[in-house]
């Protein structure tokens, strides 16, 4: 489970004394997640989620927490970080940073339909536009420089074919960044981990509603097209093969572009950005699998999933971005 730091009711009652959220009525550990300790926290005032950060430090958190607060304050469906009586939104629990956020309704879906894709894409576009004026800046910490630093650590774990694939894809991205082409792309705060299990839906599959987008702790400033590529590589694929599903891809782009039309520059580098997104998660899953943290309690994701996706993106044409 994903409760690395156990807490009891008395500790949480002491924490709640710093807020104006009512009295504790229930505290339940959440099994999902791999980075932090998470609890459902119910009070006489409402339902919340308590997160204790196991990796991120106090000084690293303001970007993520304030970005969520900024978006939620603009009626985007993301968790609202709760504010303490002293005006702060980051607390300390068990000598680790902690926050309390509003609990969003709904559940994530394992097999999203085109309707789910449309809702998720619409919300992504709203996140991008609402975050344009957000004042805090932080790069995507799992961007190109991290790929370049991490890839050499993996060489002893790769077959020759895997090594060739990784370095071919990485050199392609290095050349793309050096070309200056990306300077024309829209850029700003992005989720950077917009997977299906980070989005909640309400209602039945044939008439879903948007519950909201969670887990912003890999967010950073990046090209918005990269955020799109991350999502489409997860939401719009055949899970067995990694092949893109054209109807899902079209639904995603149609909904997104109803809010923010893509530029010609974005259309030109779309296939390369799909490869970048696949490469990012193949490298991170390889690293988590072969070089896990000593305290890791969960089975890492299978890295071969994104190896399959990257091979396809390197060899098959990407579905075109629909015109609007």
Neighbours of 12 (CB within 10 A): 19
List beta partners, residue 48. Answer: 41, 102
Residue 59: predicted pLDDT: 94
Q: Dig out the tokens for 10 from the structure.
A: 């008395």
pLDDT of residue 291: 85
The encoded tokens of residue 316 equal 């098959």
Taking 60 as the threshold, does the pLDDT of residue 297 lie above it?
A: no
Measured in whole angstroms, how far is the alpha carbon of residue 105 from the centre of its chain? 18
The pLDDT tens digits of the residues spanning 174-211 come to 999 999 999 999 999 999 999 999 999 999 999 999 99
Q: Does the reported pTM lie above 0.85?
A: yes
pLDDT in tens, 105-143: 999 999 999 999 999 999 999 999 999 999 999 999 999
Q: Which of 26, 33, 30, 2 is closest to 12 using CA atoms?
A: 26
Long-range pairs of 290-295 with CB within 8 A, sequence gap ≥ 24: 290/154, 290/157, 291/153, 293/55, 295/4, 295/54
Question: Domains in the chain and their CATH numbers?
Answer: 9-102 (3.30.200.20), 114-315 (3.90.1200.10)
Q: Give the pLDDT confidence score for residue 34 in this predicted structure.
A: 67
Which three-class secondary structure state does DSSP give residue 42? strand
Q: What is the pLDDT of residue 1?
A: 41
DSSP label of 83: P
CA–CA separation, 225 and 307 (whole Å): 21
pLDDT per residue over 154-182, tens digit each?
999 999 999 999 999 999 999 999 999 99
Q: If you average pLDDT over residues 16-40, what whole number do you get?
A: 91
CB-count burial class (<10 Å; 0-12, 13-18, 19+) for 169: buried
Query: 59-99: per-residue pLDDT in tens?
Result: 999 999 999 999 999 999 999 999 999 999 999 999 999 99
């Amino acid at each position: 489970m994903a409760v690395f730091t156990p807490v009891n009711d008395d500790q949480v009652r002491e924490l709640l004394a710093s807020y104006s959220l009512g009295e504790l009525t229930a505290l339940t550990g959440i099994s999902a997640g791999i980075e932090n300790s998470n609890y459902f926290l119910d009070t006489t005032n409402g339902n919340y989620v308590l997160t204790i950060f196991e990796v991120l430090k106090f000084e690293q958190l303001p970007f993520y927490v304030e970005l969520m607060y900024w978006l939620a304050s603009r009626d985007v469906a993301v968790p609202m970080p709760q504010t303490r009586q002293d005006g702060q939104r980051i607390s300390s629990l068990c000598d680790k940073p902690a926050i309390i956020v509003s609990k969003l309704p709904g559940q994530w879906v394992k097999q999203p339909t085109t309707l789910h894709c449309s809702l998720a894409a619409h919300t992504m576009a709203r996140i991008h536009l609402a975050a344009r004026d957000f004042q805090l800046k932080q790069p995507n910490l799992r961007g190109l420089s991290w790929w370049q630093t991490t890839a050499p650590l993996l060489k002893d774990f790769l077959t020759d074919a895997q090594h060739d694939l990784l370095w071919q894809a990485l050199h392609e991205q290095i050349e793309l960044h050096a070309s200056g082409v990306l300077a024309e792309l829209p850029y700003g705060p992005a989720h950077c981990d917009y997977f299906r299990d980070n989005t909640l839906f309400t209602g039945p599959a044939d008439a879903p509603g948007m519950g909201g987008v969670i887990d912003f702790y890999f967010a950073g400033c990046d090209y918005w097209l990269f955020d799109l590529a991350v999502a489409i590589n997860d939401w719009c694929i055949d899970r067995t093969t990694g092949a893109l599903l054209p109807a899902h891809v079209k639904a995603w782009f149609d909904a997104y572009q109803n809010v923010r039309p893509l530029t010609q520059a974005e259309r030109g580098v779309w296939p390369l950005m799909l490869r970048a997104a696949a490469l990012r998660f193949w490298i991170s899953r390889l690293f988590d699998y072969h070089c896990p943290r000593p305290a890791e309690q969960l089975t890492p994701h299978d890295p071969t999933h994104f190896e399959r996706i990257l091979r396809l993106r390197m060899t098959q044409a990407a579905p075109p971005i629909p015109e609007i």
